[in-house]
Structure 1
Amino acid sequence: MRKLLFLFLLTGFVATAQRNLNIQEATYGQYQAFAVKSLVSPQWRPETNTVTHLNASYSALVARSEGNKWSENTLLTKEDIITALKNKFPEEQFTIQIFPYSYTWKDKNTISFEVTGKDANYIVLFNVDKKEVSNAITINTEATQQALSPNNKYAASLNDNNIVITAANGKNTVVTNDVAGIVNGSDYTHRQEFGIDRGMWWSPNSDKLLYYRKDETMVGNYPLVDFGARTASEKDVKYPMAGLKSEEVTLVVYDIASAKKITLKTDGPKEQFLTTITWSPDGKYIFVGVLNREQNDLKLNKYDATTGNFINTLFEETATTYVEPLHPLTFVPGKNDEFIYRTEKDGYEQLYLYNTNGKLLKKLGYNDVVITDLLEFDAKAKNVFYVGTANNGLDRQLYKVNLKSGKTTPVTTASGVHNIVLNSDATYALDSFSNTTTPNDVSIINLKNNKTTTLFNAENPYTGKTVLPKMELVTITAADGKTPLNGRLIYPANFDASKKYPVMVYVYGGPHAQLITNSWLGGASLFDYYMAQKEYVVFTLDNRGSDARGRDFEHVIHRQLGQNEMADQMKGIDFLKSKSFVNQDKIGVYGWSFGGFMTTSLMTSHPETFKVGVAGGPVIDWKFYEIMYGERYMDMPQENPEGYAKTSLIDKAKNLQGRLLMIHGAQDNVVVQQHSMEFIQACIEANKQIDYFLYPTHEHNVRGKDRFHLNQKIADYFDTYLKKD
């Protein structure tokens, strides 16, 4: 009896452990309960062969040092920081739950991080050896987008739409004092297109601050309704809609010593885009990529940082489709007159070495590799390292290229995705590697002799907890009959080849997104596996127009968004229909944003194929979308009326046959709610039924705990209208 009871308890335990994912785990589990072991916030300590990262509880900074076989020791704890802060600011109350995740090494002995006190925010410079605060700049709690100067003596920040500079001694200098509609120093300039991730740039000498000044007074207001007030209130946002008036942007230099401001003389039409902002290493010049509104002509210009005068155009880049600058210049260490420029002008985004006279010194590209991350130069700046694509975009590998000869050497070769962090002189690389069968192998590569030291091989976090359905990567030929496309097929749980299963196609399909990689889980989210556990075939295809395959692969979308993308997705459907286990009468599709546009396009253009769809935050008509993104791919509505008519889904609502759930955030300031409202009205006029759900407090996506609700709604919709007869 005892043996039987023990066996029952044991098998009961196993049965409980080996269960399907719940909706919470399907939503955030791969970052929480099923997170693969990794190094948290890894960085190299300057001038040392030491990697630092947070420990498992995020309560301490630990170091792995070369000297003793990369052994680990605690460098600094959260308690050390709290004690030092109390000594520095005895009257302040600090709440530090974990070690500051976004710490940054400033030099060999100093890290910087931000902490919040009761009455202020602080940018802290902390000496890790002495375990004391070496300096701290106090900033108003309402301040945003803090930018610390290179000499650590000043912090620029935004107070609503204006800039304040705070000195280490606590003195505040108001740099701008403009009224609403004039926005200074914001990273939301040009709606964060063109790689813009900041709106303020300190000079290398910390004596000047360069910033965007955006005049959007002439841009139309768009109303967003706040339903949370006793009486719903309206909030207007500036939304530059395709074909209408755009914002007018300039670049201003503020001199710390004189308190004077000068505006760069970026002459030309007022409606142009200022990109690739870069200081010269000596602080004398500023380089700006000036892109016309049509986005097909880029001039890389040089300006005097003292007078603002235009000096010359280094070179001009044009295209029959569009030019898309995404990165600032990278100057070669020790040289004020040589820099690396990134462009896809020859077919793939690669590196080009120029001098400041605009002369091309060397093409540094390699085969069809698309660069994804420019890393470090070696000690004498003879070589530069970068991460780029391989294996038809599925892999990420580390490469080294010699600046003089242009010869490229692949450093890593194992097929998969290598996430690389280099030390400052490029003698060591921290390599976090995964592929579809490897959760995460973390190692250190000695770049002098290519010897590798393994730190750990992460275990499969699902073992003993849940059984993930089988996943495989597949290759499908595009609608052009020649281009190989990457696909991902997740089989239903308890797969039986003799059965017929419903299909959920998950789609995005637009630029700057790649859903399929040769990485752990194949790049899929756990929600995809959750649906497969519910016995769906889950399929995804990266069609032409998506990322990491080069210029021509993407630019087929120009002036006709959705058309070639749909043609490729239908090749994916042909692939699915060739499988005996696919129920051809039960194919559904789900996507968000561009994927919502694709979902609605497929539901209305191929209603005989797609029986159920869920379209989140969908673009319905590109004339309602913003200028910077929309006009890049579609040109202006007045320039491309045929393209806008072809891609609009409003007059295609009459074709709807299946069940379509459209979801929108009421506060969406990216794909405004007008899109879905126009489609619903068209459905009403065409006597077509559509389901609609609104998240009153959310913007373009549904985040936080409400995402559980979103994913449950999507799963329930497919269960109700696709899975059940």
Structure 2
Amino acid sequence: MLLLAFIFVSQSITAQKNISVEDIYRGEFRTQGLQSLASLNNGTEYLVLNYNRDRTQTIDKYSYTTGEKTGTLVSSSDIQLPIRDYILSSDEKQMMIISESSQIFRRSSNDKVHILNLETKELTSLSDDLVRSPSFSPDGKKVAYVFENNIYYKNLESGAVIQATTDGVTNKLINGVTDWVYEEEFAIVKAYEWSPNSEQIAFISFDESAVPEFSMDVYGNELYQKPYVFKYPKAGEKNAVVALHQFTLSTGARKEVALGRNEEFYIARINYSPNGKLAAQVLNRHQNVLDFYYVDASGKASIAFTEKDTAYVDVTDDLTFLKDGSFLWTSEKDNWRHIYLYDANGTEKKQLTKGNWDVTSYYGYDAKSKRIYFQSTEDGSINRGIYSISLKGKKKKKLSAQIGTNSASFSKNFTYFINTFSSATTPPVYTLNNAKDGKKVREIKNNNDLTTKLSNYQVAQKEFSTININGNDLNMWTMKPKDFDPNKTYPLFMTQYSGPGSQSVANSWYGANDFWYSMLANEGYIVVCVDPRGTGFKGADFKKVTQKELGKYEVEDQIAAAKQLGSMDYVDASRVGIWGWSYGGFMSSNCLLKGNDTFSMAIAVAPVTNWRFYDSIYTERYMTTPQENASGYDDNSPINHVDKLKGKYLLVHGTADDNVHVQNTMRMVEALVQADKQFDWAIYPDKNHGIYGGNTRIHLYNKMTNFIKENL
């Protein structure tokens, strides 16, 4: 094993006390961050929504170079409305004020919206109702939004409200916003776009009338619980039928775009190019063929190019149109995610970045300097650096100075970027840097106070290494007890997520769970995390090896890693445990069952126990449908291996989990009971996939801690 240890240099040798669950989940070690900011067009100033001590909210303007406040655009006391969020028009003359917001799913909400004219200070209500996904037209004269599954727009000059669609019906047909599965798996909510000339709205419709409904009880505080019913397509079941439309404002005419397809498909993204062409990214149901369509103003569609993969094609937002209609795009076609330049017709002109590393974030293109900005793994798969490169694919510059995790937020004109740096030994540090050469202008914020506070605690160090398993060097970190003695033996506790393209072994600052692992380490456990085959940032082949077999190779790697670690003199191979949440819970369950001679204990929180229960887009991307791949589904689903249970098993779920339904746990419980297997379980009423709120996290982590202490 190649070992690279990171040490808390600021931590005193005689740290006073161990961390507690209450310390962690009451926020004792929470880092200081920057408030969300929006760059202004001038590139020298930005806006921040501030929550003030007098309980007012202000949208304030700041200088990038000095950090000093240069003005206040609006105050909640002046407009007599609370400010929850805001959206600025492209000409910066008007602002949408969101004063009330009601969460729907993970990314969606119903919002109360007002329009503030920043020149006249006139405030008008967009609608008497709560609306979804409002957006300014490019000319700033109109605002579109969705209400009760229909698209509307308001003419800000006349005040007239026009209903663009009329066929939207709850749980039957949606216009302009996505259904549950698109929101969760394609990470989009707004499913409409304004044309550059503000004369057209392109939108996606979702006919979900044939999609099966899922129902879960909400227990609340009343005498009777209430059912919550929504459309949820499980693997192999009916999806919403999607269609692409164009609505012309001047005529009020709506036209469906004929894509010429006779198979099921997804419309994953729509974007307008500067020349007014509509681009649509369309995937087949297997998600291994992506067709990039152009649609002209008359509604005629043609395929500009097609990207294919033996496994699947990832959908991203890495698309920038240049003035001449050519565009930048990222792809894994050479086994690593890189940036490509295509001409206006969709023909590849050049691969701009190359190497055995991934572009992990695409930040954009500066037309003035003709440079592209991105984040990558050139410093190693567990690290992230910031770079720029010319439009010719030359003169690449590294803009980040430190090895660890760097991320960037660029000003509108790419003059500056705010760099967020952290590592396993350094909590987040925020600096302002010149985009041209990466040189630091000033430090904005650090977390030195947290470093000082942590010197009073025993904080276990992360030791980064690789472990050779099944012919692959897998990334790993290890935490050992503070008083670790190689002549003693310790129980081993493994943590992992292991999902496709994910990463748990990263050189970044500790999250809440890392402090929990530190606590466990200092109570006598060796804690280890291994990223198996199927995880990300080691090339597409490494990531996609799990295709059609989710839970096979990842489980083999975790079991083999546990055996190899268990053979070490200081590890007690009879006391090896594993845990995980969501995909990690699916994994920990499988490891305990399939590796029953290796693992003596497992905890699974909100696990998928049968891939047949999970949603269509995610599951079929990696598994195709259960009708096509029954063995792939069944051989790797924990529910079919309950007879193998030997060790101690804790199963946890929230009843209001709209993502991984509590059905997974209930059916697993029934299977375990019928197999006459003893286990422990906990149900959290009305808690979603995150299982939080009030005292919930403290209760959950104390329960898991006690279970570990009793059974490992």
Superposition TM-score tier, normalisation by shorter sequence = 0.7 to 0.9
Give the letter for the 1:182 counterpart: L
User: Is residue 585–residue 608 contact of structure 2 (8 Å, CA) maintained in 1?
Assistant: yes
Match of 1:236 in 2: 229
How much does 1:109 deviate?
7.3
- AA in 1 matched with 2:75: I
> Shift of residue 420 of structure 1?
0.8
Question: Kindly tell me: are residues 710 and 42 of structure 1, through their superposed partners in 2, closer, same or farther at Cα, counting changes over 3 Å?
Answer: same
Tell me the equivalent position of 1:114: 98
For 2:192, the equivalent position in structure 1 comes to 200
Distance in 2 (CA, whole Å) between partners of 1:28 and 1:260 is: 55
1:569 paired to 2:558: yes
Q: CA 1:612 to 1:313, structure 2 compared with 1: closer, same or farther past 3 Å?
A: same
Which structure has more relative contact order (CA 8 Å, sep 6+)? It is 2
Q: Are 2:358 and 1:365 equivalent residues in the alignment?
A: no
How many residues align structurally? Answer: 682
TM-score (norm 2): 0.88
CA drift at 1:398: 1.2
Deviation at 1:607, TM superposition (A): 1.3
Residues in 2 aligned to 1:603 and 1:675: alpha-carbon distance in whole angstroms: 17
Query: Does the 8 Å CA contact 1:26/1:530 hold for their aligned counterparts?
Result: no
Distance 1:559 1:41, change over 3 A: same
Contact (CA 8 Å) 1:182, 1:214: kept in 2 or not?
yes
- The 3-state SS of whatever aligns with 1:412 is coil
2:407 & 2:480 partners in 1: Cα distance? 28
- Does the 8 Å contact 1:295/1:323 carry over to 2? yes
Q: Is the 8 A contact 2:37 2:47 kept in 1?
A: yes
Q: Given the superposition, is the C-alpha separation of residues 443 and 105 from structure 1 closer, same or farther in structure 2, using an over 3 Å criterion?
A: farther
- Give the partner amino acid of 2:436: K
Equivalent position of 1:91 in the other structure:
none
- What is the letter of the counterpart of residue 42 of structure 2? E
State yes or no: 1:709 paired with 2:704. Answer: no
Distance 1:296 1:448, change over 3 A: closer
Kept in 2: contact 1:203–1:209 (CA 8 A): yes
The match for 1:268 is 261
Question: Which residue in the other structure is 1:660 paired with?
Answer: 649
- 2:93 equivalent to 1:95: no
Asked if the contact 1:383–1:402 (Cα under 8 Å) also holds between the matched residues in 2, the reply is yes
Aligned residue number for residue 223 of structure 1: 215
Q: Hey, what does 1:183 align to over in structure 2?
A: 174
Q: Which residue identity is paired with 1:262? A: K
Specify the code of the residue in structure 2 equivalent to 1:671. V
State, as a whole percentage, how many aligned pairs show the same letter: 28
Q: Which residue, 202, 207, 224 being the options, matches 1:210?
A: 202
Aligned-residue RMSD, C-alpha: 3.1
Residues 518-667 of structure 1 mapped to structure 2, 5 A cutoff: 518-521=507-510, 525-667=514-656
Letter in 1 for 2:255: I
Q: Which of 304, 319, 322 pairs up with 1:329? A: 319
Q: Do the aligned residues in 2 keep the contact of 1:149 with 1:206 (CA within 8 Å)?
A: yes
Q: 1:475 to 1:21 in 2, by over 3 A?
A: closer
Letter in structure 1 aligned against 2:210: M
Aligned-partner residue type, residue 700 of structure 1:
H
Aligned partners of 2:111 and 2:132 also within 8 Å: no
Confirm or deny: 8 A CA contact 2:179 2:206 kept in the other structure.
Answer: no
Q: TM-score, normalised by structure 1?
A: 0.86
Of 75, 80, 85, 1:81 maps to: 75
Q: Secondary structure at the match of 1:645?
A: helix
Relative to structure 1, is the Cα distance of residues 593 and 636 closer, same or farther in structure 2, using a 3 angstrom cutoff?
same
Counterpart amino acid of 1:600?
S
**1:71 and 1:530, CA in 2 relative to 1: closer, same or farther beyond 3 A?**
same
SS in 2 for 1:375: strand
Unaligned runs of 5+ in 1: 1-13, 87-93
Instruction: Provide the rounded CA distance (Å) in 2 between the counterparts of 1:524 and 1:708.
Output: 12
Other structure's SS at 1:430 match = strand
Q: How has the CA–CA distance of structure 1 residues 452 and 263 changed in structure 2, closer, same or farther, with 3 Å as cutoff? A: same
| SS of structure 2 residue aligned to 1:663 | strand
1:36 equivalent to 2:26? Answer no
Paired residue for 2:448?
Answer: 459
CA contact (8 A) 1:194 1:324 kept: no
SS at match of 1:463: helix
2:387 corresponds to which of 399, 407, 412: 399
Distance 1:427 1:505, change over 3 A: same
Alignment of 1:49-88 (within 5 A): 49-53=44-48, 65=63, 70-76=65-71, 81-86=75-80
Change (3 A) 1:234 1:113: closer
Distance 1:678 1:307 in 2: 52
Residue 110 to residue 533, structure 1, CA distance change in 2 (3 Å): farther
Aligned 8 A contact 2:180 2:231 in 1: no
SS at match of 1:628: helix
Distance, in Å, in 1 between the alignment partners of 2:123 and 2:621 is: 45
Number of the residue aligned with 2:426:
438
The CA distance in 1 between the partners of 2:62 and 2:518, in whole Å, is 35
Q: Partners of 1:226 and 1:51 in 2: how far apart?
A: 42
**CA deviation after TM superposition for structure 1 residue 598, in Å:** 0.1
Deviation digits for residues 207-238 of structure 1 (CA, Å, limit 9, x no counterpart): 22222210111112222223345334433322
Distance 1:653 1:189, change over 3 A: closer
Q: State the partner residue of 1:154.
A: 142
What CA distance in whole angstroms lies between the structure 2 residues aligned with 1:573 and 1:95?
A: 53
Task: Structure 2: give runs of 5+ residues left out of the alignment.
Answer: 1-11, 103-109
Q: What residue in structure 1 maps to residue 405 of structure 2?
A: 417
1:515 is aligned with what amino acid?
A: S
Does 1:133 find its partner at 2:121? yes
- Partners of 1:536 and 1:367 lie apart in 2 by 39
Matched AA of 2:98: E
Deviations 1:468-518 (A, max 9, x none): 42222422335331x322222222355454443333322210024222221
What is the rounded CA distance, in whole Å, between the counterparts of 2:627 and 2:87 in structure 1?
49
Give 1:554 deviation, angstroms.
0.9
SS of the residue 1:157 aligns to: strand
How far the C-alpha of 1:591 sits from its partner, in A, is: 0.9
Shift of residue 315, structure 1, vs aligned partner = 1.3
